[in-house]
C-alpha cells in the first residue's frame, strides 16, 4: 500500500530518524544542538535547525513549549515505522527471554497467557493476548428439526464433541425439506470451520446477495437470523503490564479513563478486532487508536494474528504510548507470532 505521508530527502530522513529515536530514549524535546553534537557528519546547529523547521512545516514535528526543542508527531512515528519495517532484528537477550518463557507449552490458552506476560516485559508496555475458541469449537455437523410452525430445533455438534441444542423462531415457516437442505448446505460448505468464522462468512454472503435468493439461501438466511449458530463464542483475554502505564502516562484523568477501558475485557476484544485482521501476514502498527476508542488517542497498538497452520487461534498485541521502542516491540510481536505456529504445530513424538 502506498504511503500518504509527505516525502522527504535523505538528510531530512536521517535527522527525523535521529529526533524520533532520541525522543523515545529521553522523553525530552530534542534541540538542534543535541543533534549537532551527535551527528557523524558534523552538521552545524543552524543547518539542523533549518531542516527541523522544514520537517515541522510538513507536519512531522511540533514544539510543545517555547523552548527550542521539538517532539515527533503521530505522522513522524508512522514515517519512522515505515523506514524500519522489515529491517529490525530481535536481540539475543529478548529471544532468550521469549523462548524461556514459552518453552514446554503445548496448550494454546497457556501460550496466550504467557505471551501477554512476556510481551509486557519486553516492551515495558501492556501485553495483550486474546484467545479464540479454536478448533474445539469447529463445526462437525448440524441438524435442524421442525417442532411447530416457525419453531425450529437446531443441534450443533463440534469437533471437540460438544453438543449444543437450541430452540428458536424464524420469521417465516420452513418445511422439514427446507431444513434438511439447509443442514446439507452448512455441513458441506462449513464443516471444520469455527462458529465465529461461519457467522462472518454467512453474513458476508447474505450481504452480497441482497437481491433474489433461491429457496435454499432464503432458508439459510431465516435460520442464521434466528440464531441457529448460537451467539458469539466466549473469548479469553490475557492482559499484563497495565502498571507500566503508570510510569509512562502523566495525564492522571486520561490514565484513569484508559485503565477503565482496559479493565473491560470486551472493550479489549473490540480493540484488537478493529485493528488485527486474521488475513494479515505481517505485524500491524497502528498509531492513534481514536477511531476505535476516543480515549485511546495518542496510544499505539502493535499486533498480529496467532495461527497454527492456517487456523487463527487468536491475536496478540502490545498497547502503549506513542513514545515506545518500536523496533524492539515490532520484532518481539513478530517473533512470538511465528513461535506460536512453530511450537503448537509441531508433530507429537
Q: 99 with 155, same domain? A: no
- Plot region of 192 (φ>0 → left; ψ -120 to 50 → alpha; else → beta): left
Task: Mark out the alpha helices in 124-169 (DSSP H runs).
Answer: none
Residue span of the structural domain in which 264 resides:
92-132+235-344
Q: What is the mean predicted confidence (pLDDT) over 175-185?
A: 92
Q: What is the DSSP string of 260-309?
A: HHHH-HHHHHHHHHHH--TT--S-EEEE--TTT-GGGTTEEEEEEEEEET
Query: What's the pLDDT score for residue 290?
Result: 84
- Is residue 2 a part of any domain in this protein? no
CATH number at residue 189: 3.30.390.10
Clarify whether residues 127 and 242 are in a common domain: yes
Domain match, 171 and 295 both: no
Does 119 share its domain with 262? yes
As a whole-number percent, the residues of the chain with pLDDT over 90 amount to 32
Task: Write out the three cell numbers for 335.
Answer: 517473533
The per-residue pLDDT for 1 is 45
Nine-digit cell string for 17: 530518524
206 and 269 assigned to the same domain: no
Residue 262: predicted pLDDT: 82
Asked whether residue 122 falls in the same domain as residue 148, the answer is: no
51 plus 109 within the same structural domain? no
Q: What CATH code is carried by the domain that includes residue 41? A: 1.10.10.10
The CATH number given to whatever domain includes residue 99 is: 3.30.450.40
* CA proximity to 17, closest of 74, 62, 80: 80
Which of 205, 226, 247 delimits the end of a domain? 226
Mean pLDDT of 213-241: 76
Average pLDDT over every residue of 43-50: 86
Q: What is the pLDDT of residues 53-105, one digit of tens each?
A: 999 999 999 988 766 689 999 999 999 999 887 777 888 888 999 999 888 88
How many domains, in total, are found in the chain?
Answer: 3
**Edge to edge, what strands does the sheet with 126-131 contain?**
236-240, 126-131, 311-321, 299-308, 284-287
pLDDT tens for residues 5-34?
A: 888 888 899 999 999 999 998 888 998 888
Per-residue confidence (pLDDT) for residue 68, from 0 to 100: 66
Once rounded to an integer, what is the mean pLDDT over residues 106-123? 88
Q: Which of 192, 226, 260 is the last residue of a domain?
A: 226
Residues 148 and 222 in one domain: yes
Residue 25 lies in a domain: yes
Cβ(29)–Cβ(71) under 8 Å? yes
Task: Evaluate whether 230 touches 166 at the Cβ level (below 8 Å).
Answer: yes
Residue 187 pLDDT grade (very low, low, confident, very high; cuts 50, 70, 90): very high
The confidence score (pLDDT) of residue 340 equals 84
Distance separating alpha carbons of residues 303 and 105, to the nearest angstrom: 21
What does the pLDDT look like over 232-271, one tens digit per residue?
A: 556 788 999 888 887 766 667 777 777 888 888 888 888 8
Question: What pLDDT band is residue 52 in, cutting at 50, 70 and 90?
Answer: very high
Neighbours of 194 (CB within 10 A): 23
Q: Which residues of 206-233 are buried (b: 16+ CB within 10 A; e: fewer)?
A: eeeeeeeeeeebebbbbbbebebbeeee
Q: What is the mean pLDDT of residues 315-329?
A: 91
Q: Is the pLDDT of residue 107 over 50?
A: yes
**239 and 112 housed in the same domain:** yes
Q: Does residue 3 lie within any of the structural domains?
A: no
pLDDT value for 211? 47
SS3 assignment, position 153: strand
Three-state DSSP class for residue 197? helix
Q: Are residues 76 and 104 in the same domain?
A: no
Last residue within a domain, chosen from 50, 84, 118: 84
**Has residue 4 been placed in a domain?**
no
DSSP 221-250: HHHHHHTTT-SPPP-EEEEE-TTHHHHH--
Amino acid at each position: 500500500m502506498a504511503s500518504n505521508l509527505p516525502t522527504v530527502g535523505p538528510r531530512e530522513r536521517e535527522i527525523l530518524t535521529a529526533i524520533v529515536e532520541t525522543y523515545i530514549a529521553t522523553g525530552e524535546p530534542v534541540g538542534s544542538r543535541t543533534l549537532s553534537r551527535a551527528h557523524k557528519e558534523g552538521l552545524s546547529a543552524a543547518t539542523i535547525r533549518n531542516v527541523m523547521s522544514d520537517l515541522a512545516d510538513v507536519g512531522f514535528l511540533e514544539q510543545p513549549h517555547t523552548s527550542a526543542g521539538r517532539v515527533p508527531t503521530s505522522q513522524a512515528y508512522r514515517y519512522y515505522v515505515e523506514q524500519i519495517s522489515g529491517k529490525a532484528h530481535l536481540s539475543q537477550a529478548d529471544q532468550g527471554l521469549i523462548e524461556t518463557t514459552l518453552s514446554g507449552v503445548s496448550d494454546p490458552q497457556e501460550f496466550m497467557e504467557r505471551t501477554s506476560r512476556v510481551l509486557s516485559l519486553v516492551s515495558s508496555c501492556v501485553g495483550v493476548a486474546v484467545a479464540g475458541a479454536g478448533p474445539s469449537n469447529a463445526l462437525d455437523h448440524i441438524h435442524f428439526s421442525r417442532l411447530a410452525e416457525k419453531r425450529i430445533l437446531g443441534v450443533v455438534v463440534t469437533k471437540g464433541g460438544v453438543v449444543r441444542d437450541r430452540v428458536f423462531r424464524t420469521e417465516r415457516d420452513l418445511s422439514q425439506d427446507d431444513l434438511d437442505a439447509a443442514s446439507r448446505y452448512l455441513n458441506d460448505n462449513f464443516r471444520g470451520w469455527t462458529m465465529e468464522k461461519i457467522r462472518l462468512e454467512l453474513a458476508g454472503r447474505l450481504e452480497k446477495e441482497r437481491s433474489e435468493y433461491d429457496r435454499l439461501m432464503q432458508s439459510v438466511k431465516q435460520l442464521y437470523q434466528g440464531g441457529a449458530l448460537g451467539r458469539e463464542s466466549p473469548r479469553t483475554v490475557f492482559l499484563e503490564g497495565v502498571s507500566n502505564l503508570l510510569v509512562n502516562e502523566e495525564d492522571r484523568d486520561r490514565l484513569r479513563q484508559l485503565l477503565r477501558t482496559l479493565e473491560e475485557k470486551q472493550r479489549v476484544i473490540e480493540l484488537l478486532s478493529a485493528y488485527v485482521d486474521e488475513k494479515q501476514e505481517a505485524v500491524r502498527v497502528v498509531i492513534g487508536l481514536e477511531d476505535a476508542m476516543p480515549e485511546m488517542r495518542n496510544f499505539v497498538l502493535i499486533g498480529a494474528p496467532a495461527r497454527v497452520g492456517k487456523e487463527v487461534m487468536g491475536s496478540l498485541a502490545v498497547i502503549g504510548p506513542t513514545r515506545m521502542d518500536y523496533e524492539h516491540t515490532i520484532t518481539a510481536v513478530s517473533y512470538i507470532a511465528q513461535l506460536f505456529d512453530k511450537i503448537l504445530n509441531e508433530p507429537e513424538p
